[in-house]
C-alpha cells in the first residue's frame, strides 16, 4: 500500500520539489540529504544530496566550496549544467568514494586532475 506521501505526490504533479523536501524532512529520521535522495531517485526530480564524498570533492576541487552542506548544495545546483543535474550527485558520490577518497586521493587516476584546484594533489 503506497504511503500518504507517495499518494499525494503521484496524484499531483504540481507539488513543488521544495514542498516535497519539506514533507519528507518532516518524517522522523529524515534529514535534508535523505529527502534529496528520495526526491531525486524515487521521484526523478532535480535535487543535490550532499554527503561526505560530495562535500569533500566540492571543496577540494573548488567547484562548489562551502562551510556546510547546504552551502555546497546551493552552489552545485547553480554550477552543474541543467542537462546533468538529475544524475550529477551519483557521479560525484562515486568519484569521491573511489577516486577522490578522503585520506589519499588518487589524483593520478583522476579524469579531472587538470581542472581540479586542490593544492595537495597526490602523485605516485
Ligand atoms: S585531482 Fe585529486 S583532489 Fe582533485 S578531484 Fe581528482 S582525485 Fe580529487
Per-residue confidence band for 15, with pLDDT thresholds at 50, 70 and 90: low
Please give the domain boundaries of the chain with CATH numbers for all domains.
Answer: 1-7+15-45 (no CATH), 52-109 (1.10.1670.10)
**C-alpha cell, 94:** 562515486
By percentage, how much of the chain surpasses pLDDT 90? Answer: 78
Q: Who lines ligand 1 at CB under 6 A?
A: 60-61, 99-100, 105-107, 110, 112-113, 116, 118, 121
3 Cβ contact list (under 8 Å, min separation 6): none
CA distance 99 to 101: 5
Per-residue confidence band for 19, with pLDDT thresholds at 50, 70 and 90: confident
Closest-lying ligand 1 atom to the alpha carbon of residue 120: 3
CA angle at 29 for the pair 47 and 15, rounded to the nearest 5°: 40
Per-residue confidence band for 16, with pLDDT thresholds at 50, 70 and 90: confident
What local confidence, expressed as pLDDT, does residue 102 receive?
96
Mutation choice for ligand 1 from 112, 120, 122, CB with most ligand atoms inside 8 A: 112
Told to judge if 119 belongs to the known catalytic residues of this protein, a careful annotator would answer no
Closest-lying ligand 1 atom to the alpha carbon of residue 117: 4
Within 13 Å, how many C-alpha atoms sit on residue 15's CB side? 17
**C-alpha cell, 56:** 569533500
Amino acid at each position: 500500500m503506497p504511503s500518504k506521501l507517495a499518494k499525494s505526490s503521484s496524484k499531483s504533479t504540481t507539488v513543488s520539489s521544495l514542498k516535497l523536501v519539506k514533507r519528507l524532512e518532516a518524517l522522523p529520521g529524515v534529514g535534508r540529504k535523505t529527502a534529496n535522495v528520495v526526491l531525486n531517485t524515487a521521484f526523478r526530480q532535480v535535487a543535490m544530496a550532499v554527503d561526505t564524498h560530495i562535500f569533500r570533492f566540492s571543496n577540494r576541487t573548488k567547484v562548489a566550496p562551502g562551510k556546510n552542506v547546504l552551502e555546497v548544495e546551493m552552489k552545485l545546483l547553480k554550477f552543474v549544467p541543467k542537462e546533468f543535474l538529475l544524475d550529477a550527485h551519483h557521479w560525484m558520490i562515486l568519484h569521491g568514494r573511489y577516486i577522490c577518497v578522503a585520506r589519499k586521493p588518487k589524483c593520478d587516476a583522476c579524469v579531472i586532475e587538470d581542472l581540479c584546484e586542490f593544492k595537495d594533489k597526490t602523485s605516485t
